[in-house]
A and B are shown apart, each in its own frame.
Chain A
Amino acid sequence: MELTFQHFNYVAELMAKEAAIVLAAGKEYLVESRLKPLATKGGYETVGEFITAAGRVRDNGSHQLRKQIIEALTINETSWFRDREPFAALTNVIIPTLLQNELHRPIRIWSAASSSGQEPYSIAMQLDKALPPEQEYEILASDISVEMVERTRRATYNQLEINRGLPVGDLVEYFERIGSDWHVVDRIKRRVTAEQINLAHPLPLMQPFDVVFLRNVLIYFAPETKRQVLARIMKVLRPGGWLQLGAAETTVGIESNFERVPVGRTAIYRAPSIDLLPVKEVKAC
């Protein structure tokens, strides 16, 4: 069955509202092809039936289906070293600052909406090139979707995914061919641990991070949730730690404790250093 106008409209509105993604008319095939596997898996005859089920707001399970739709239509937004600047900021500003003093501990970075893993592995490749060999580092990759977490753990990408912005030098250095796919080499893969984390909920216990990548995530949340998410991130950042947001995002007006640091055409955000933290009045004794 062809996707009806109503079905497409429903999905377009859902995407606009929940993910700020515009699905223009003419993208019906995209909806059809991305949702087909979900419909089949869920036992629906057609994609149309699947969408109808997702639209039954009173049905408890429908929320889950809507989440699946959003996930299915956002995943392919990922490319390697997406937007470039955040990775340049990492090597040009953040790493030199971190290495000013001898660290004697691994650098810890969190890729907080890692989707299918391109961001955490891009970070790992960047660090592999930028850090002195004795400097250890570890990366936590997290996503709300269990499927994405599993994909990140597999660290396997097909030809079309590999073509998305990965410099050929990095392909040759950091990937090996397995069948018709490409697999991240072990020395990079082992730096990345992937976990399912819902940023809208309280965070699990974590070691503090030097840098958090939280790009194009806040757009999904209501203002109050945004504030809560940033407050939680602030807590797991080391004093003076760094936050990277999406190109169109800012902490300004949401969480005033972050300092905005302009870098190139973009900006990164910095948590207060210890000496900048408000000090309680100490009584002389």
Chain B
Amino acid sequence: MLGIVIDDSRAMRRILRKFLEELGFDVLEAGHGREALEVLDGADAVPELALIDWNMPEMNGLEFVVEVRKRPEWRNITLVMVTTESEHSQIVKALASGAHEYVIKPFTKDGMLDKLALLGLVPVGVLS
């Protein structure tokens, strides 16, 4: 399994990378949406999963989701927003733009694991 972590905070990227690696993922990283598009274009394989922050410089997470949705070759990437944006209206906006799931920061490892199990990306019952 391949995942990409897109967040402008290196600290947050490290936390998410470690979490995915422990689940057996290979992990790509990007600091904002535009960089993520470049990383995806240059990657050998299409990731199964993208964890996407919302507020980032250059290109924010929502704009990135919209861009990914325009590219048929990326249609199988499961797009999960991982963000501190948590108003009801913002969540609806992200879903309408094409995000599949939504994790609100702060999250615990268990919470993130629950979401990935929900998406069928890890087996149910994996203990963190």
Contact = CB atoms under 8 A, between A and B. Distances in A.
Contact between chain A and chain B defined by CB under 8 Å: yes
B88 A177 contact: yes
A163 B115 CA distance: 8
A153 to B, nearest CB: 23
Given A163-B115, A164-B114, A177 B87 contact: yes
Interface residues on B, range: 20 to 34
A171 B102 contact: yes
Contacts of B107: 160, 163
Given A160-B107, A165-B117, A176-B88, 18 more contacts: A79-B114, A83-B124, A83-B125, A84-B117, A159-B106, A160-B111, A163-B107, A163-B108, A163-B111, A163-B114, A164-B111, A165-B114, A165-B115, A165-B118, A167-B101, A172-B88, A172-B95, A177-B87
Contacts of A167: 101, 118
Contacts of A83: 124-125
A175 B111 CA distance: 18
B27 interface: no
A27 to B, nearest CB: 13
A169 interface: yes
A163 B87 contact: no
8 contacts: A80-B114, A84-B117, A84-B124, A163-B103, A164-B110, A165-B118, A171-B102, A176-B88
Interface of B: 86-88, 91-92, 95, 101-104, 106-108, 110-112, 114-115, 117-118, 124-125
A1 to B, nearest CB: 27
Contacts of B112: 163
A177 B88 CA distance: 7
A20 to B, nearest CB: 15
A168 B101 contact: yes
Contact of B91 (A80, A159, A165, A172): A172
Contacts of A212: none
B8 to A, nearest CB: 21
Contacts of A175: 88
Contact of B86 (A159, A169, A176, A247): A159
Given A163-B103, A164-B114, A169 B108 contact: no
A162 interface: yes
Interface string A149-181: 000000000011011110111011001110000
A84 B125 CA distance: 10
A100 B95 CA distance: 36
A214 B124 CA distance: 20
B102 to A, nearest CB: 4
Contacts of A164: 110-111, 114
B92 A172 contact: yes
Contacts of B114: 79-80, 163-165
Interface string A59-97: 000000000000000000001100110000000000000
A168 B96 CA distance: 12
